Structure 1
């Protein structure tokens, strides 16, 4: 069974990353305030990115990876600016 990686933009401008087996049901949960504690206090939310994966496990592994990404890197992914991703992954040392 397939899965989905998704990113929501919350009303405060933050980005929430999640994974699910059924994106339509999950969006209903988020919009009703029952999706996650984080999003329930930041309604309304808007789906800004969705990627269909071969399995929910793959979607979850990608979710965990994106949790470590900066907002700038997530925005580059959302905006299909893939060429920016390597530069946004580099640590900046002073």
Structure 2
């Protein structure tokens, strides 16, 4: 999960966190983050396969902001 320059939170999955952060900050990441750079990594989790990562991504996206902030803390 990254925090955008406007304070919003963006959740996604990747196999390479550092590369993905660089892409986001170069304006080449997700459409949502392009106008909200720079972004900062605020939370990450690791999984054995993409399926598990996608399921967790969906779960996090369904959480209210307060619960996402609890993950960050």
Tell me whether the two structures share a fold, i.e. TM-score over 0.5.
yes
1:52 is displaced (CA, Å) by 1.2
Q: Is it true that 1:51 corresponds to 2:37 in the alignment?
A: no
Aligned residues, how many?
73
Q: 2:14 aligns with which of 4, 13, 20?
A: 20
Q: Report the alpha carbon displacement of residue 53 of structure 1 after superposing the two structures with TM.
A: 1.1
Instruction: Quote the Cα distance in structure 2 between the aligned partners of 1:30 and 1:56.
Output: 20
Structure 2 CA distance for aligned equivalents of residues 50 and 74 of structure 1: 12
Who is 1:72 aligned against?
66
**In structure 1, what is the Cα distance between the partners aligned to 2:64 and 2:46?**
22
Q: Could you tell me how far 1:38 is from its partner in structure 2?
A: 0.4
Q: Any gaps of 5 or more consecutive residues in structure 2?
A: none
Work out which of the two has the higher radius of gyration on C-alpha atoms and give 1 or 2: 1
- The Cα RMSD (Å) is 0.8
Normalising by structure 2, we get a TM-score of: 0.93
1:29 aligned to which of 11, 23, 32: 23
By percentage of residues, which structure has more strand?
1
Q: CA deviation at 1:40?
A: 0.6
- Length-normalised TM-score, structure 1: 0.74
Structure 1 residue ranges (4+ consecutive) displaced by more than 4 angstroms after TM superposition = none
